[in-house]
Amino acid sequence: MKTKKIIAGIMSLAVAGALAGCGGGSSNTAPEQATTQAPADTAAPTVEEQEAGAVTTAGEQVTAAETNENISLSISWWGGDSRHEATQKALDAFTAAHPNITIEPQFGAWSGWEEKMSTAFYAGTAPDVNQVNWNWLYNFSGDGSIFADISALADFDTSQYDPVALKQCTVANKLQAIPVSMTGRIFYWNKSTFEKAGIDTPKSLADLLAAGETFKTVLGDDYYPLAVGEYDRMILMTLYLESKYGKEWVKDNTTLNYTVEEIADGMAFIDSLEDAHVIPSIATITGDGADSLDKNPKWMEGKYAGIFEWDSSAGKYEGALNEGQEFIVGEYFPDMGETHGGFAKVSLGFSICETSQHKAEAAQLLNFMLNEAEGVEIMGSERGIPLSKSALSLCKEKGILNPTVAEANAKVLTWVSFGLDPNYENAKLKNAPDGVYQDAFGGLSFDEYDVNKAAQVLYDGVTAVLSGQA
């Protein structure tokens, strides 16, 4: 039932405005000169076709030609070192099997990545293939102008995906991305640091609050049970509020479902974590000088002993720890409230730019990475537990799923009760340094706002985005 709630929440989507222009990274040809556009008379998939798994587009599908012509493709993604390494190995394997195709990879950490890609979409310089967040389909291509209809590309096997999962990435009657996995946030702990402090990892909110004082007393001021940035605090507060009040953050993707007073309660919860030495201040985290927590020496050394992160991100945080430390998946806290709060979403997807000069070959590349045995075995669970039936079956057979990611994903999907509205990750809300989340939670942490002012800032910012006034 909880999984059905997740799907229902995510399927209830509101179309945001679209940006204009997206260029294939493999060509300098102007967008209107693209040679492999999907048929102009394509029809949207019927409900019957979706239910049968036949999410296809009417008309002749675009198929990669049998040719020795030299082709160049470009692909972009963000992530940690382990994702970078796995993806590059998969690209090398693909080009070994297709020697006429060369691939230009573009990758980096998440920090600043959305802004970079937004600029590329505006300028028409984005790569052929792009790793995308689910909400990008709405923010950048709500009218279908930016990303191609993958169901029109015969070289990608959509039958490996549940029609409901594909529908979540179908915007403007086009399958604009292939969803890779479902994900949600959960606690991870450095068990070794908790053992050093002489206590167990937290099983409840009361345990977590008590751990703050223990860490300070036993290990010193530089040690904290948990570290969370501004956006992490927003998601953690949402978990707390949904657990306590039993209602989704945004109703029908259009209306903020919480009052200023209720949000102030959530802000007070976050503030209490700083006061109890559970989490470091934003000033402390910023002063560490790292782009992300997985690259922060205090995380690597075990001074920050917990994170609240996506289940699909386990690998990069575990891999970043110095040798001899034990990384484990935590539990949700039943004493947060009577409801199983929190949400799940399509973790990320892959899209093909509408103006790519080689859509069919781009589809071949995606099929290799996401559905075919050789590519799947290399990629494993670097982007979460695969939604592709063939990929999941192979990963289970070969025992190559990251056991930490698999455990975390199972706990997330068993626990959470809500979906995610498309605007939750709107750039005006989440992007640093000027997003509403940074303003509200940063202002609270720096003592520029009290909990009531921070709640009003967040309420006003979210309401403005939902109403289209931001």
Residue 428 in any domain: the answer is no
Taking phi first (over 0 means left), then psi (-120 to 50 degrees means alpha), and beta for anything else, what does residue 330 get? beta
pLDDT score at 165: 86
pTM, full prediction: 0.74
- Domain assignment present for residue 422? The answer is no
Residue 467 lies in a domain: no
**C-beta neighbour count of 330 within 10 angstroms:** 20
**One domain for residues 204 and 321:** yes
- Sequential pLDDT tens for the chain (470 residues): 434 334 344 433 333 333 333 333 333 222 222 222 333 333 334 433 333 333 333 345 666 656 678 999 999 999 999 999 999 999 999 999 999 999 999 999 988 899 999 999 888 899 999 999 998 998 899 999 999 999 999 999 999 998 888 988 999 999 999 999 999 999 999 999 999 999 999 999 999 999 999 999 999 999 999 999 999 999 999 999 999 999 999 998 899 999 999 999 999 999 999 999 999 999 999 999 998 999 999 999 999 999 999 998 898 899 999 999 999 999 999 999 999 999 998 989 999 999 899 999 999 999 999 999 999 999 998 998 999 999 999 999 999 998 999 999 999 999 999 988 889 999 899 988 899 999 999 999 999 999 999 999 999 999 999 998 87
pLDDT for the residue numbered 143: 94
Residues 300 and 390 in one domain: no
252 and 138 belong to one structural domain:
no
Contacts of 307 (CB under 8 A, 6+ apart): 187, 188, 226, 227, 228, 232, 293, 299, 317
Is residue 456 one of the residues assigned to a domain? no
Domain co-membership, 328 together with 355 = no
- The pLDDT value given to residue 73: 98
| Same domain membership, residue 321 and residue 379 | no
pLDDT at 156: 98
Is the Cβ–Cβ distance between 153 and 358 less than 8 Å?
no
- Does 365 share its domain with 339? no
Sequence-distant (6+) residues with CB within 8 A of 20 are: 122, 145
The answer as to whether 91 is a domain residue is: yes
Q: Name which of 2, 16, 27, 11 is nearest 362 in CA terms.
A: 27
Among 370, 391, 415, the domain-final residue is: 415
Last residue of a domain, one of 388, 415, 442: 415
> Do 123 and 198 fall within a single domain?
no
Long-range contacts of 403-407 (CB under 8 A, 24+ apart): 404/314, 404/315, 404/318, 404/327, 404/328, 404/329, 405/311, 405/312, 405/314, 405/315, 405/381, 406/381, 407/329
Domain boundary among the residues 302, 324, 343 is at 343
In a domain, 432, yes or no: no
Are 192 and 325 spatial neighbours (Cβ–Cβ below 8 Å)? yes
Same domain, 330 and 305: yes
Residues 292, 307 within the same domain: yes
Number of domains the chain contains:
2
**164 plus 24 within the same structural domain:** yes
Residue 367 domain flag: yes
Look up the CATH number of the domain holding residue 206. Answer: 3.40.190.10
Contact 383, 347 (CB under 8 A): yes
Residue ranges of E strands in 221-310: 250-251, 255-256, 306-310
pLDDT (0 to 100) of residue 140: 92
Same domain, 390 and 260: no
pLDDT of the residue at 44: 38
Range of the domain at 365: 2-183+346-415
Instruction: Say if residue 210 is in the same domain as residue 126.
Output: no
Residue 434 lies in a domain: no
- Could you give phi then psi for residue 178, rounded to 5 degrees? -100, 120
For residue 361, which of 131, 70, 56, 41 has the smallest C-alpha distance? 70
